[in-house]
């Protein structure tokens, strides 16, 4: 099966549900910090932060959301050495003793999240790290699982899941296509 699996409304509902699940799991927004993994994890984190602020007016979406560049922590740099180094932007209060929610678009092999965990340990010591992914497509190579998932989409290794977001691609969609899958 190929084609659009999630449209704008589906993505919006999934993010709203994830925001509520984050609040429920953590007993409210206290100490919650969102770190988006560029490229598409960052706008997803910003959208989640906005939804958290809508439910909990005391939550400052801008102050509690940041970006986590994992480029130098990846285990495939030797294959693609021309990657550009991005920006890590932590919330002003940092991540020490915080509940850090990593946000990414697609959870696949788990290697991106392993790199994110390595990056976090160099930046501080959070009380807990949780993972929110818009799509979990399976095929884990590491023992990593998401705490919050927008949609589980079982795929074959030869299929590709592309997340398009308005902020980056001009549209919101999750598209499944045939082709070589990436980690």
Total H helices, total E strands in the chain: 4, 8
Question: Tens digits of per-residue pLDDT, 35-91?
Answer: 999 999 999 999 999 999 999 999 999 999 999 999 999 887 767 666 678 889 999
Residue 177 has pLDDT above 50, yes or no: yes
> Do 7 and 177 form a contact (C-beta atoms < 8 A)?
no
Q: pTM of the predicted model, to two decimals?
A: 0.93
Q: Tell me the Ramachandran region of residue 110: left when phi exceeds 0, alpha when psi lies from -120 to 50, beta otherwise.
A: left
Structural domains for the chain: 9-77+85-156 (3.40.50.2020)
Q: Check if the beta carbon of residue 60 is closer than 8 Å to that of residue 47.
A: no
pLDDT band with cut points at 50, 70 and 90 for residue 183: very low
Model pLDDT, residue 83: 67
Question: To 10 degrees, the CA torsion angle through 106, 137, 131, 28?
Answer: 100
Give tens-digit pLDDT for 151-160: 999 999 999 9
């Amino acid at each position: 099966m190929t084609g659009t699996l999630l449209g704008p409304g589906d993505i919006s509902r999934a993010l709203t549900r994830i925001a509520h699940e984050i609040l429920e799991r953590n007993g409210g927004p206290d100490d919650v910090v969102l770190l988006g993994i560029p490229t598409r994890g960052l706008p997803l984190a910003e959208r989640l932060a906005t939804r958290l602020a809508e439910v909990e007016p005391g939550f400052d979406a801008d102050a509690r959301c940041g970006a986590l560049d994992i480029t130098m922590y990846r285990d495939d740099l030797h294959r693609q050495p021309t990657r550009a180094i991005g920006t890590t932007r932590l919330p002003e209060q940092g991540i020490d003793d915080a509940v850090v929610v990593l946000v990414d678009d697609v959870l696949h092999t788990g290697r991106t999240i392993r790199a994110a965990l390595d990056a976090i340990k160099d930046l501080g010591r959070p009380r807990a790290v949780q993972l929110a992914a818009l799509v979990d497509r399976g095929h884990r190579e590491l023992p990593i699982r998401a705490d919050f998932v927008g949609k589980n989409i079982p795929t074959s290794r030869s299929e590709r899941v592309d997340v398009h977001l308005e902020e980056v691609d001009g549209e919101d969609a999750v598209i499944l296509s045939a082709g070589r899958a990436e980690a």
